[in-house]
Chains A and B, each alone.
Chain A
């Protein structure tokens, strides 16, 4: 039972255009959401986060949008650069999950390819 879903395993975008990566979650108790980027042979790197009291958080070229009613979040990268090519993981968590202190639940990732 996947509580965090990234339905697109891959995405290809032209350099300079917008990349939109999507993530859906099922647990309404999640109140904190993060995006991680992962290059081959490296560990995931934290990119940006958003708490459930917000619907948007921006950091440079990266913006995360949260739609709580739809249990959906998205990561926008504008403009996309070839160096953004990586696997992006969505992660969700909350204080209480399954009756115990929550930990991050990760999606399976979306591989982004930005073509020059």
Chain B
């Protein structure tokens, strides 16, 4: 158990809909990262927040947005969903803001868009 929690575990929705994925980092970690893993793909970095502020952005679509709240939990919002958005979404956390240091991953949320 990494100490990072993600809800929900599974999400099934239809094209055009909007969903919110939630992540609680390990106690004491200030950074939260979001990754997408599609079929046969590695982990694609989406976005990083550090202590409530956006720190780095990766291959995140404009239809996607995220935020980190004062209690440090984070939410990833995916809107106007398309079939290709079906993937595993992982959240990770780390103590510091340096994104290349060791990150602890949650169990992921499996999103299925029908």
Contacts and interface: CB of A to CB of B under 8 A. Distances in A.
Most A Cβ at <10 Å: residue of B43, B58, B98:
B43
Interface string A90-111: 0111110000111111111100
Most B Cβ at <10 Å: residue of A44, A89, A102, A109:
A44
Main DSSP-derived SS at the B contact region? loop
Contacts of A95: 98, 100
A89 B98 contact: no
B98 A45 contact: no
Interface string B83-111: 00000001010000111111111111000
B90 A104 contact: no
Nearest to A32: B100
Contact of B42 (A49, A93, A106): A106
A76 to B, nearest CB: 20
Interface string B46-78: 001000000110100000000000000000000
Interface string B23-54: 00000000001010000111111001000000
Interface residues of A, number: 28
A104 B41 contact: no
Contacts of B33: 103
A82 B48 CA distance: 35
Contacts of B108: 42-43
Nearest to A94: B100
Interface string A48-73: 01000000000000000000000000
B105 A101 contact: no
Interface of A: 4, 6, 32, 34, 36, 41-46, 49, 89, 91-95, 100-109
Instruction: State the 4 A-B residue pairs at the shortest beta-carbon distance, nearest first.
Output: A93-B100, A43-B105, A103-B99, A106-B43
Given A36-B105, A43-B4, A44-B105, 16 more contacts: A6-B42, A32-B100, A34-B102, A42-B107, A43-B92, A43-B105, A49-B102, A91-B43, A92-B100, A93-B100, A100-B56, A101-B97, A101-B98, A101-B99, A103-B56, A104-B43
